[in-house]
A = this chain, B = another copy of it.
């Protein structure tokens, strides 16, 4: 549940307060007072979510939201609007601009965190800390552990040891199970978007992940789709008969 959150708010008292609460919840917080700052900031570090004040000195929050939505790199970032008003019309146009949710001031930190969690779960499921269980594998983001249910049904689940990258990789693949991801997609989502890394590196990490899975006989879950990429799938791919 640790996300990078960009807070765009001109009232410093509020900004600080929000930042405080977000940090305490374990998020990484970036702050900006103006849309201009926010743009710069999001250019260097791509946030996972943007908390956006409705009224900003230089550009309206609405406008900034549109800008985010227009650009390829940022168009998928969830946005939560902060507004002091309660008028229905604001709600409409805020959501229109592509905001995922909006909160009217004043709001409690609890409400804020709840909304953030909800939005993240909706837009970036791999960031929510829910346990994922597929194909006899159980991955728990909170305890950071992966268990494999023994194939020969019965008996204790075995614990799986993974390096940091392999853990994220598996988490991502399991979150979007059955879907094929190109190496580039995996690099962007798991390594980050600014990195310059060889596509082939993904192969190696897939290899390492598989090796760990082999120790519990689950290597068939990570499948290669030739010419396309990789996939986590419960169904066996090709080789049927043995």
Contacts and interface: CB of A to CB of B under 8 A. Distances in A.
B184 A26 contact: yes
A118 B113 CA distance: 14
A184 B143 contact: no
A95 B18 contact: yes
B108 A11 contact: no
Interface stretch (A130-138, A197-205, A222-230): A222-230
A182 B26 contact: yes
A241 B150 CA distance: 12
A89 B86 contact: yes
Given A159-B235, A235-B159, A240-B158, A143 B94 contact: no
B84 A90 contact: yes
A231 interface: yes
Copy number in the complex reads 2
B107 A95 contact: yes
Given A179-B143, A184-B26, A193-B23, A228 B164 contact: yes
A17 B100 CA distance: 11
Contacts of A156: 241
Given A86-B90, A95-B105, A99-B108, 17 more contacts: A13-B93, A14-B93, A20-B193, A23-B184, A24-B188, A26-B184, A84-B89, A85-B90, A89-B104, A94-B105, A94-B106, A100-B108, A100-B109, A142-B180, A144-B228, A158-B240, A164-B228
The 10 closest A-B pairs by CB, nearest first: A164-B227, A14-B94, A84-B90, A159-B240, A144-B180, A101-B108, A92-B106, A26-B185, A143-B178, A17-B95
